[in-house]
Amino acid sequence: MPINGVVESKLRFLEQTLADLESWPLGTQGEFAHNSMLRRAVERALQLAIESMIDVAERILAARRLSPADTAGQNLRRLQEIGVLKDAERYAEMVRFRNFIVHRYEQIEPQIIYRLATTKLSHFRDFIDEIRKACAGQTPEAEGTDGR
């Protein structure tokens, strides 16, 4: 399935959001926890990055004429079922975080945001790579058969 302009635009937005996140000096976990402006900026950037993932998943399902599931996490699992993603659960974890910050925003622990921003950004890059490979016709399963 060739990548369409909307999907590519969302992937580029995701890449730019990641570049922004990676350029921000987060400091130590304690410094981060006490800097409310930075903490809220990182929280929002993570939310936007996850929203981009959700939108991409829905677009790909629609392009393949598959109806979306009831939840974003289920949509990611459907992409795994059809060979677009290798491990949807690692992305579904991020969707759960997004749901938490959207619906229970007053209870977010700064260390959770810090952990995501310092240890999980590679998951977004993996998502981008998997989507681009699948849209170019290289599914995750096919990748393992050529010796890589």
Model confidence over 26-71: pLDDT tens digits? 999 999 999 999 999 999 999 999 999 999 999 999 988 998 889 9
Residue 18 lies in a domain: yes
pLDDT at 143: 44
How many separate domains does the chain show? 1
Residues 60/131, Cβ–Cβ less than 8 Å:
yes
Q: Is residue 123 situated within a structural domain? A: yes
CA distances from 54 to 74, 89, 96, 110 (A): 10, 13, 11, 24
Q: Is residue 26 part of a domain?
A: yes
pTM given for the model: 0.85
CATH of the domain at 34: 1.20.120.580
| 145 within domain boundaries | no
Range of the domain at 10: 5-136
Q: Is residue 67 part of a domain?
A: yes
- Does residue 144 sit within a domain? no
